[in-house]
Amino acid sequence: MLVEDAPERLTSKPSWLLTQLAVHAKKLSTDCFAEAGARGYHYRILATLAEFGPASQIDLGRRGNIDRSDVVAAVNQLADQGCVERAPDPADRRRNIVTLTAAGERLLHRLDRALDEVQDGLLAPLGPDDREEFTRLLARLLAHHRDRGGW
């Protein structure tokens, strides 16, 4: 359904508009990652490792908002590609510490560039100031609802 064909009761609701845009943004991101031979989980894990350094799989899941079983599968795939390395945690040999490799950094940079193009396309109607404000407002809403235990 096109937004123009939707009832005004829907199109006047920010929740409906956000949902429609989120579906579109998810498709664009998924397609972008697929073209690069990756998935969104891969990007989240690589970005987390690049920003915070080596981490346990539990921490990767928590920071990337990824289910434990999905973390294991994604880390396995990234390890098979040589993008991450796993080693037993010296403090607790029952868990692994995951480390970003040079190949993982290269993949992350490729994914960053591709995702930047997606952002540019998604936000094309907005100028730089509006993009910054829109992002700031979305982050503010997200923080508010997370802080209040909204999910």
pLDDT in tens, 104-131: 999 999 999 999 999 999 999 999 999 9
Give pTM, 2 decimals: 0.87
pLDDT at 150 > cutoff 80: no
**pLDDT tens digit sequence for 35-61:** 999 999 999 999 999 999 999 999 999
Share of the chain above pLDDT 70, in %: 97
DSSP string for 51-103: HH-SEEHHHHHHHHT--HHHHHHHHHHHHHTTSEEEEEETTEEEEEEEEE-HH
Residue in the block written with tokens 């407002």: 137
Q: Confidence band (pLDDT; 50, 70, 90) for 21?
A: very high
Say what the alpha-carbon torsion angle 30, 80, 101, 118 is, to the nearest 10 degrees.
-10
Q: Is the Cβ–Cβ distance between 127 and 101 less than 8 Å?
A: no
